A and B are shown apart, each in its own frame.
Chain A
Amino acid sequence: GAVVSQHPSRVICKSGTSVKIECRSLDFQATTMFWYRQFPKQSLMLMATSNEGSKATYEQGVEKDKFLINHASLTLSTLTVTSAHPEDSSFYICSAGGKVDTQYFGPGTRLTVL
């Protein structure tokens, strides 16, 4: 089956630093990847759609300069949280588009900003 990995699974950083999260499709090529954010006991909120070789499309209210997305290859997308603050602490999940209508989700990254 289609496998999507994320790295790191957990990260703790100091306020003001930047954190990069990687999302990889391990056994298939993904033209489109998605980044979600999930607060405790809440649902997933789509942050942006990442297309290989082009700029990401951000959802309303998501700061593109704060959440930098790069989709340099068909198997890798990265999300960089720049100048992180405690309110950025959250669970970040990526997914990759596979067969028509299907997304395969990564295991998530728990970010804690001190």
Chain B
Amino acid sequence: SQQGEEDPQALSIQEGENATMNCSYKTSINNLQWYRQNSGRGLVHLILIRSNEREKHSGRLRVTLDTSKKSSSLLITASRAADTASYFCAAGGSNYKLTFGKGTLLTVNP
């Protein structure tokens, strides 16, 4: 299956700034999920937005979904050095199946 695209591929910001990552996908979806991965580790689920939702918040995270454009964005506000990681979007289809994007490597400098 085809993967989505995230942009930017890499993002470097200063602590306290906001970080925005975008994701596009190609197939129809039930939901769109965002995950975080620290180097060499497994994935941590951050947030899920359903196909009938347009925006969702969780703590410092804000996710938007535009199904007409097949795109989503993840905003991390007031970033911290501990937010440094790779962030992946995943298009959720039927039967739990996920199709991952290529990821954005976020570096938050202290």
Contact = CB atoms under 8 A, between A and B. Distances in A.
Interface in A70-104: 91, 93, 95, 97, 101-104
Q: Which among A44, A91, A97 has the highest number of chain B CB atoms within 10 Å?
A: A44
A49 interface: yes
Interface of A: 4, 6, 32, 34, 36, 41-46, 49, 59, 91, 93, 95, 97, 101-108, 110
25 contacts: A6-B42, A32-B95, A32-B96, A34-B97, A36-B100, A42-B102, A42-B103, A43-B3, A43-B88, A43-B102, A46-B97, A49-B97, A91-B40, A93-B43, A97-B96, A101-B31, A101-B33, A101-B48, A102-B45, A102-B48, A102-B96, A105-B43, A105-B45, A106-B42, A107-B41
Interface residues of B, number: 26
Contacts of B92: 101
A103 B96 contact: yes
Q: Majority SS of interface residues in chain A?
A: strand
